[in-house]
Amino acid sequence: MKRSAIERDLLATLDPMVRRGRLWIGGLLAVCAMACVAWTVQLVYGLRVTDMRNYVSWGMYMTNFVFFIGISHAGTLISAILRVTDAGWRRPITRMAEAITVIALVIGASMVMIDMGRPDRLLNLLIHGRFQSPILWDLVSVTTYLSGSFLYLYVAMIPDMPMLATHARERGRSPRLVRFYEMLSLGYRESPQHRRLLARALGAMAVIIIPVAISVHTVVSWVFGMTLRPGWHSTIFGPYFVIGAIFSGTAAIITAMFLFRRAYHLERYLRPEHFHKLAKILLALSLLYAYFALSEYLTTWYGGVATDWRLLELLAGTGPVGAAFWLWAVFGLFVPIGLLLFPSHRSMGSIVTASVLINIGMWVKRYLIIVPTLQTTFIPAEAAGINPHYFPSLVECMITAGAVAAFLLFFTLFSRLFPILSVWETVEDAEDAARVAVRAPGPTPAGKRVRAVPAVTVALLIVAGALVLAPWTAASAQTLSGVPAGAHAGAHAGAHAAAPAAVPTVPATSIAHIELERTSEDGQEMLVATVTVNGQPVAGATVAFSVARSFGIMALGEDQTLADGTAAVPYPEGLPGNARGDLDFSVTMLSPPALVTAPVQVTIGGAERPLAAPAEVPRALWSSRAPLAIVGTIAFLLLCVWATYGFVVVQLTAMYHLNGEG
């Protein structure tokens, strides 16, 4: 195929819209506007307009978040992995895939904001952000992924820009649009230097975006996996979500290919072979996902933990959750596998049908991961007469419809502004094909690039391992010092035996005089009260001993005075005093009635002292200060990734300056 023919075909997608296209855009805008109204209602009346309540506190919005983040993995798989492995057939697909990534990420991230009770306080994440929270991990990795995929999408579009500028000028489009394309082209020309810089930038991006993408969905899964909930607290959640994301992303790219092929008549470029190659990948992923789902459900079922079983009974039961679960299992997994399994029956129709089913199924699956677990609590809500139900409200459905519409709208607009198939790569594809007809291809520059992959990947894996391990070691060393003070009974015995007793003023009406001291009798610590009247000991009087605590008086016992006027009870061994080790004792005369008087209070030192709380808050998972291991790991990972982005930007700058020299 001639270069000019390819350009003509692919740039035709940018022609002014026909009536059908305008209707499509108008329809999407209407749905988005409806969603905006719904969101306004939600902002005014609060999240009460959803069906989320205190038990099921996450619902459709979180489902959408996980779903769109999952879809965003289309770009990574198709584009980056195929680019790194230099699979030639990827070329007409990459641009579409990369655009899906960027758009789905934007929509997914906005779903979290819609789910927030206080979107007005979004900046608190930057002001007060805690790096122990998986939400911060999410924020950081999604931001990094979004920036990276934006850069990646752009770098791969640069060679098309000069052509787009020319095309726009020839078609008499607005000069502003021409300038826009020219600016984005960075002065790119078909020269060996430009090619080299572009290849270097693209190679670096394709490598770095893979671990970043994996981290994003791993971290999304950890929002659930790091809690102690049945069905969430699972060690396979990271890979389970990553596979699920690539699975749904691949299905999304096939669906998008089908739609663009129809809408823009791209049958010559998006050929059945592309669908069939992707179908093989999709089949592998669907089997892999079935395997992960089986591992997850079988182990929890076989283990038989009561709360896990309550969840499984809900999932496999006869209620609406059970119905959704079985519909997903049949139509979201087994039917697509059946449609894709036999090469002889694998038609374009069956591939696209399977993809659409998988997309819907994966949304349902995310819903089934989130909602039933929230309905299954350790202390069953039913035991308080509460039925933790959830069914998406109208507002939630409208906002969800708006999210889907916005996704389609952005995608359509993107395809109106830039050719949805990469022109330069399609040309390259055609040229390669022509060359193959002549002779076998030599080693491509891509082969050299790949060598950098293992080193970077291994480094990232090590760091990721450290990230996982660090919190536990840090946390185990630092728990708030709880002082079971009473446990150290007798440690101080004898240190302050017979501490001097302070005798308070006795009311004038009273004639009894009480002295209290702590003594050691036959090796036992005793509290001894001596009762005298006018200096004479009183025998046979009943004396009650007690000690003051914050919220009440703790009785220590009663005793009758002997002939020498003394009554005694055992000293409360190990009872902590105040910060100076003082205990405030009270002695009360209970009989004879003539001597009954106000309690006499005496402070005796030498008791246990409670351990002082640490001067500063410890670094721990639960505290306000993050363990250094977490902060260090995140900082290091970010540095690796952003340094690579920086490297790419340096290549682009060099490209821009080349132009000046030329």
Partner 1 sequence: MERRDFLRTGFVAAGGVAVGAAGVSQGADASSAAAGQGVATLSLTADGGLVVSSVRAGGSAKPTSVEVRRGVPGRRWVMVIDLAACDGCGKCTDVCAKSHFIPGDREFIRLFNMQESTDTAPYWFPRPCFHCDNPPCTRVCPVGATFKRQDGIVLIDNERCIGCRFCMAACPYSARSFNWSPPADPAPAVARGYSPEWGYPRRVGTVEKCDFCADMAREGKLPHCVSGCAMTALWFGDENEDAVTNSKGDTVRLSKFLRDRAGFRYMEELGTKPRVYYLPAANRRSAAPGEPGANVSNSQRRREQR
Q: Which stretch binds partner 1 (CB under 8 A): 325-333, 348-356, 381-389, 461-469?
A: 381-389
Residue 229 and residue 388: Cα distance in Å, rounded? 15
Report 460-499 residues binding partner 1 (CB under 8 A). 475, 479-480, 482-487
Residue 537 and residue 517: Cα distance in Å, rounded? 16
Q: Which is nearer to partner 1, 33 or 503 (CB)?
A: 503
Joined together, the tokens standing for residue 81 give 């992995």
Q: Tell me: does residue 551 bind partner 1 (CB under 8 A).
A: yes
Q: Tell me: does residue 508 bind partner 1 (CB under 8 A).
A: no
Q: Which stretch binds partner 1 (CB under 8 A): 53-61, 153-161, 289-297, 309-317?
A: 53-61
Give yes or no for a contact between 3 and 423, defined as CB atoms under 8 angstroms apart.
Answer: no
Strand partners, 405: none
Joined together, the tokens standing for residue 335 give 């039917």
Instruction: Give the SS3 label for residue 372.
Output: helix
- Give the type of residue at 319: G
Q: Which is nearer to partner 1, 519 or 597 (CB)?
A: 597
Least distance from C-beta 607 to partner 1, angstroms? 10
Burial class (CB in 10 A: 0-12, 13-18, 19+), 423: buried
Beta strands in 592-638 (DSSP E): 600-604
Q: Which is nearer to partner 1, 296 or 582 (CB)?
A: 582
Among 385, 443, 454, 593, binds partner 1 (CB under 8 A): 385
Cα dihedral sign, 548-551-553-556: negative
Q: Tell me: does residue 509 bind partner 1 (CB under 8 A).
A: no
Give yes or no for a contact between 96 and 256, defined as CB atoms under 8 angstroms apart.
Answer: yes
Among 7, 9, 115, 160, binds partner 1 (CB under 8 A): 115
Report 325-364 residues binding partner 1 (CB under 8 A). none
Burial class (CB in 10 A: 0-12, 13-18, 19+), 206: buried
Q: Which is nearer to partner 1, 307 or 457 (CB)?
A: 307
Joined together, the tokens standing for residue 469 give 């391990």
Residue 341 and residue 351: Cα distance in Å, rounded? 10
Least distance from C-beta 121 to partner 1, angstroms? 5
Among 298, 413, 498, 555, binds partner 1 (CB under 8 A): 555
Burial class (CB in 10 A: 0-12, 13-18, 19+), 60: buried
Q: Which is nearer to partner 1, 138 or 559 (CB)?
A: 138
Among 13, 347, 377, 659, binds partner 1 (CB under 8 A): 377
Q: Which is nearer to partner 1, 63 or 149 (CB)?
A: 63
Apex 470 CA angle, 466 and 474, nearest 5: 165
Among 490, 614, 646, 662, binds partner 1 (CB under 8 A): 614
Q: What count of Cα atoms within 13 Å lies in the side-chain half-sphere of residue 162?
A: 10
Q: Which is nearer to partner 1, 495 or 555 (CB)?
A: 555
Mark 558-577 with x for binding to partner 1 (rule: CB under 8 A) and - for no binding.
--------------x-xxx-
**Alpha helix stretches (DSSP H) within 172-229:** 175-185, 192-225
Q: Tell me: does residue 121 bind partner 1 (CB under 8 A).
A: yes
Place of tokens 């209970």: 590
Q: Which stretch binds partner 1 (CB under 8 A): 33-41, 373-381, 422-430, 644-652?
A: 373-381
Q: Tell me: does residue 590 bind partner 1 (CB under 8 A).
A: no
Q: Tell me: does residue 139 bind partner 1 (CB under 8 A).
A: yes
Among 147, 295, 519, 623, binds partner 1 (CB under 8 A): 623
Q: Tell me: does residue 515 bind partner 1 (CB under 8 A).
A: no
Count CB atoms within 10 A of the CB of residue 273. Answer: 9
Q: Tell me: does residue 603 bind partner 1 (CB under 8 A).
A: yes
Report 265-284 residues binding partner 1 (CB under 8 A). none
Count CB atoms within 10 A of the CB of residue 616. Answer: 8
In angstroms, the Cα distances linking 162 to 95, 364, 494, 659 are 17, 44, 93, 13
Beta strands in 467-550 (DSSP E): 512-521, 524-533, 536-537, 542-549
Among 166, 353, 457, 578, binds partner 1 (CB under 8 A): 578
Report whether the peptide linkage leading into residue 592 is cis, meaning its omega lies within 30 degrees of zero: yes
Q: Which is nearer to partner 1, 359 or 373 (CB)?
A: 373
Among 18, 384, 440, 563, binds partner 1 (CB under 8 A): 384
Least distance from C-beta 431 to partner 1, angstroms? 50
Least distance from C-beta 581 to partner 1, angstroms? 11
Q: Which is nearer to partner 1, 101 or 221 (CB)?
A: 221
Q: Tell me: does residue 659 bind partner 1 (CB under 8 A).
A: no
Report 17-46 residues binding partner 1 (CB under 8 A). 45-46
Report 83-112 residues binding partner 1 (CB under 8 A). 112
Among 21, 24, 25, 58, binds partner 1 (CB under 8 A): 58
Give yes or no for a contact between 566 and 530, defined as CB atoms under 8 angstroms apart.
Answer: yes
Q: Tell me: does residue 548 bind partner 1 (CB under 8 A).
A: yes
Q: Tell me: does residue 525 bind partner 1 (CB under 8 A).
A: no
Instruction: Give the SS3 label for residue 555.
Output: strand
**308-346: burial string, b at 16+ Cβ within 10 Å, e else:** bebbbebbeeeeebbebbeebbeebbebbbebbeeeeeb
Q: Tell me: does residue 586 bind partner 1 (CB under 8 A).
A: yes
Q: Which stretch binds partner 1 (CB under 8 A): 210-218, 244-252, 612-620, 654-662?
A: 612-620
Strand partners, 588: 544
- Longest CA–CA span in the chain (Å) reads 127
Give yes or no for a contact between 171 and 163, defined as CB atoms under 8 angstroms apart.
Answer: no
Mark 185-224 with x for binding to partner 1 (rule: CB under 8 A) and - for no binding.
--------------------------------------xx
Least distance from C-beta 264 to partner 1, angstroms? 41
Q: Tell me: does residue 638 bind partner 1 (CB under 8 A).
A: no
Among 156, 205, 226, 314, binds partner 1 (CB under 8 A): 226
Report 284-303 residues binding partner 1 (CB under 8 A). none
Burial class (CB in 10 A: 0-12, 13-18, 19+), 562: middle
Task: Compute how many residues bind partner 1; rule: CB under 8 A.
Answer: 91
Least distance from C-beta 471 to partner 1, angstroms? 9
